[in-house]
A = this chain, B = another copy of it.
Amino acid sequence: MPKRAYSCGIDAAIDVVGGKWKVLILWALHDGARRFGELRRMVPGVSEKVLIQQLRELEADEIVHREVYREVPPRVEYSLTALGVSLNAALEPLSAWGKRHMAHIESMRERQPV
């Protein structure tokens, strides 16, 4: 999704974090490095392919760091870069808002299954 230009900061941020599972991935990395398998378990519902894909995109955006340990069986650890940490911090108020109004949102969704 290579946009021409961003009309404001927020859609630049969304371009980075807009994947279906990316915020969940960031959240899972909040407290330290995680192995691929751990992430898969921590983000229930992702397929392997998409998890890898989104991790690669986050890596390309320099949000996460990928460390490969040449062992057998292979071990790969993902962690947040400084940029990733700052992004996570910027997401916190939105997360707090969501948590505060979660019940309200869910009740809306039940009434109107769109």
- Do B23 and A108 have beta carbons less than 8 Å apart? no
CB distance from A10 to the nearest CB of B (A): 4
- Do A2 and B114 have beta carbons less than 8 Å apart? yes
Is there a chain B Cβ closer than 8 Å to A16's Cβ? yes
How many residues of A sit at the interface, in one of the four size bands?
A: 35 or more
> What are 25 pairs between A and B in contact, CB < 8 Å?
A1-B114, A2-B110, A7-B44, A8-B99, A9-B94, A9-B95, A9-B100, A10-B91, A10-B98, A11-B23, A11-B98, A12-B99, A12-B102, A12-B105, A12-B106, A13-B97, A14-B23, A14-B98, A61-B108, A83-B104, A90-B93, A90-B96, A91-B93, A93-B93, A93-B94
